[in-house]
Structure 1
Amino acid sequence: MTARENIQAVTFALGKEVFAVPVRLVREILDYREPFNLPNGPDYFVGLTEVRGQGVPTVDFRRRLGLPCVETTLSTRIIILDIPLADGTLSLGLVIDRVLGVNIYEADQIEDAPDIGVKWRSDYIEGVVREEAGFIVIVDIARIFTGEEAELLAVSASKAA
């Protein structure tokens, strides 16, 4: 993200880590329900979630980022995203620990992603916001799920439909 602009984002937590995705990508937020299991997907792919008659590929975002797995709780949610890709849109469900809220981050609050000292690849990070309690990582979902991964998830969903 070179030219900074204000971002309205949904913030969510994975353990103590706080992340944000732009609101424009969020279709809806669902209470957790066990996705329909499909075999032979990547280890972070947990199956399909039924959303208004559509099977949406769903991933455990903790696993995708290499964080340890945890049991689901009453706070566990599935965020349904519509991610624009070069050849269309990927609908994707992310299993997260809990939703924290919707915030607006001013352009001057957003810092560049650090190149070292983070647990995740920095090219997955659109920016970070520094707050008293720590950092909020604004993730670039399209970069996390691109190319072969996006195609694999889309094919898994279409085979089950």
Structure 2
Amino acid sequence: MSGGELQVVTFGLDAETFAIPVTLVREILDYREPFRIPNGPGFMLGLTDLRGEGVTTVDLRLRLGMPAAVPSLSTRILVVDVPLGARVLTLGLVVDRVLDVSTVDTAQIGPAPDVGTRWASDYIAGVARRAEGFVVFIDMGRIFSDVEAAELSSMATAA
């Protein structure tokens, strides 16, 4: 990534730390059980009410190939606007905990390593080193396939 600063929301899934640009985050909600929708992808939990609007909610752990976890008091739902080509899909991402909002020097963000990662690198925008370990930057526009994005979008509009 080129030089400059990027403001991000960092969050935890298991022992891992992830980040997404704060410009994509609409709200951070306390966890509440989503309204279940049958026949959705395995990582889709259902719909979360956001002031009368049904927001498609996904378990980010499951989407990234991690095991499911029982929600705790620190579990949050990040309501994000995911850019998908010419449109924007609003999703709720269930995460184990929100850590902070911070500013990162983009010069410190390197490419995802080709070896030793347990996530598909196509949706990793980069990796940065912090005192407490690595932070994986997620490219939200690439985390869902076109088919998955269309399915999630159609479920959101049907709500």
For normalisation by structure 2, the TM-score amounts to: 0.96
The aligned counterpart of 1:98 is: 97
CA distance in structure 2 between the partners assigned to 1:152 and 1:145 by the alignment: 10
Residue 144 (structure 2) pairs with residue 149 (structure 1): no
- The AA in structure 1 aligned to 2:106 is A
What is the match of residue 56 of structure 2?
A: 57
Q: CA deviation at 1:39?
A: 0.3
Q: Structure 2: how far apart are the matches of 1:58 and 1:116? A: 31
After TM superposition, give the deviation of residue 6 of structure 1 in Å.
1.9
> 1:41 and 1:116 mapped to 2: Cα distance?
32
Kindly provide the amino acid, as one letter, of the partner of residue 58 in structure 1: T
Matching of residues 1-161 of structure 1 within 5 Å: 2-160=1-159
2:108 maps to a residue whose letter is Q
SS at structure 1 position matched to 2:156: helix
Counterpart of 2:113, as a letter, is P
Structure 2, unpaired ranges of 5+: none
What is the identity, as a one-letter code, of the residue corresponding to 2:130? E
Q: What amino acid sits opposite 1:135 in the alignment?
A: F
Equivalent AA in structure 2 for residue 148 of structure 1: V
TM-score scaled by length of structure 1: 0.95
Listed one character per residue, the Cα deviations across residues 64-112 of structure 1 (whole Å, up to 9, x for unaligned) are 0010111100000000001122131100000000000011110221111
| Counterpart code for 1:15 | D
Task: Please say if residues 4 and 110 of structure 1, whose CA atoms lie closer than 8 Å, have aligned partners that are also in contact.
Answer: no
- In 2, the alpha carbon distance for the partners of 1:4 and 1:51 equals 36
Deviation of 1:4 after TM superposition, in Å, equals 4.8
Secondary structure of 2:45 counterpart: strand
Residue type of the alignment partner of 2:10: T
Which sections of structure 1, spanning at least 5 residues, go unmatched? none
- CA-CA distance at 1:5 after TM superposition: 3.8
Q: For 2:90, what is the secondary structure of its paired residue?
A: strand
Question: 1:6-55 deviations in whole A, cap 9, x for unaligned?
Answer: 21100000010000000000000000000010000000000001112211
In 2, are the aligned partners of 1:28 and 1:79 still within 8 Å (CA)?
yes
Alignment deviations for residues 94-139 of structure 1 (CA, whole Å, 9 cap, x no partner) = 0000000011110221111111210101111111110122100011
CA separation of 1:4 and 1:39: change in aligned 2, threshold 3 A = farther
Aligned length: 159
Give the 3-state SS of the residue equivalent to 2:65 in structure 1: coil
